[in-house]
Structure 1
Amino acid sequence: MARSLGVCLVCGEPLRYFEEAQEVTCEECGRVETGHAVCQAGHYVCDACHRARGVDHVMAVCSVSDERDPIALAQQIMADDAIYPNGPEHHTLVGAVLLTAYRNAGGDLDLGAALAELRRRSLAVPGGTCGYWGCCGAAISAGMYLSIVLGATPMTPEPWGQAARLTSRILGRLADVGGPRCCKRTGFIALEEAAAYTAEELGVAMDLPARTTCSFMARNAECLRTACPFFPQHPSV
Structure 2
Amino acid sequence: MICGEPILYKNPTTAEICTFCGEEFTCEGMCANGHKVCKGCSDNQAVNLIKSTCLNTRSKNPYEIAIGIMKNPVMRMHDVRHHILVGSALLAAYHNCGGDIKLAESLEEMEKRGKQIPPGACGYLGNCGAAVSSGAFFSIVTGTTPHSENNWSLANTLTGTCLIEMGKLTGPRCCKRDSFIALGTTIDFIADTFEIHMEKPTKLICEFSERNAECIKDKCPYYAKETV
- TM-score class, shorter-chain normalisation, is 0.7 to 0.9
Specify which of 164, 176, 179 is matched with residue 184 of structure 1: 176
Specify which of 88, 94, 102 is matched with residue 86 of structure 2: 94
User: Residue 71 of structure 1 contacts residue 208 of structure 1 at CA under 8 Å; is this kept in 2?
Assistant: yes
Match of 1:212 in 2: 204
Structure 2 vs 1, CA of residues 145 and 233 (structure 1 numbering), >3 Å: closer, same or farther?
same
Specify which of 173, 193, 201 is matched with residue 193 of structure 2: 201
TM-score by length of 1: 0.81
Cα deviation, residue 31, structure 1: 7.2
- Distance in 2 (CA, whole Å) between partners of 1:31 and 1:145 is 34
Cα deviation, residue 202, structure 1: 1.1
Match of 1:132 in 2: 124
Structure 1, residues 205-236: CA drift from partner, whole Å, max 9, x if none? 001111121101111111111111111259xx
Match of 2:142 in 1: 150
User: Residue 187 of structure 2 contacts residue 197 of structure 2 at CA under 8 Å; is this kept in 1?
Assistant: yes
Instruction: Name the Cα RMSD after superposition.
Output: 2.5
Aligned length: 213
- Distance in 2 (CA, whole Å) between partners of 1:139 and 1:156 is 20
TM-score by length of 2: 0.84
Structure 1, residues 86-143: CA drift from partner, whole Å, max 9, x if none? 1001011000000000011111111111111111111111211111111000001111
Structure 1, residues 162-215: CA drift from partner, whole Å, max 9, x if none? 110000000001111121111100000000000000000111000111112110
Unaligned runs of 5+ residues in structure 2 are 30-36
User: Residue 25 of structure 2 contacts residue 38 of structure 2 at CA under 8 Å; is this kept in 1?
Assistant: yes
Match of 1:121 in 2: 113
- Distance in 1 (CA, whole Å) between partners of 2:25 and 2:128 is 25
Cα deviation, residue 47, structure 1: 6.0
Aligned residue type for 1:169: T
- Distance in 1 (CA, whole Å) between partners of 2:118 and 2:15 is 15
Structure 2 vs 1, CA of residues 227 and 96 (structure 1 numbering), >3 Å: closer, same or farther?
same
- Distance in 1 (CA, whole Å) between partners of 2:221 and 2:144 is 32
Match of 2:100 in 1: 108
Percent identity among equivalent residues? 35
Match of 1:35 in 2: none
Specify which of 199, 219, 229 is matched with residue 221 of structure 2: 229
- Distance in 1 (CA, whole Å) between partners of 2:154 and 2:220 is 28
- Distance in 2 (CA, whole Å) between partners of 1:124 and 1:46 is 20
Match of 2:33 in 1: none
Q: Give the 4+ runs in structure 1 shifted more than 2 A.
A: 1-5, 23-32, 45-52
- Distance in 1 (CA, whole Å) between partners of 2:99 and 2:144 is 16
Structure 2 vs 1, CA of residues 135 and 46 (structure 1 numbering), >3 Å: closer, same or farther?
farther
- Distance in 1 (CA, whole Å) between partners of 2:200 and 2:15 is 39
Aligned residue type for 2:129: G
User: Residue 42 of structure 2 contacts residue 74 of structure 2 at CA under 8 Å; is this kept in 1?
Assistant: no
Aligned residue type for 2:113: R
Cα deviation, residue 52, structure 1: 2.6
User: Residue 58 of structure 2 contacts residue 96 of structure 2 at CA under 8 Å; is this kept in 1?
Assistant: yes
Structure 1, residues 44-70: CA drift from partner, whole Å, max 9, x if none? x88655433111100010011100011
Match of 1:76 in 2: 68
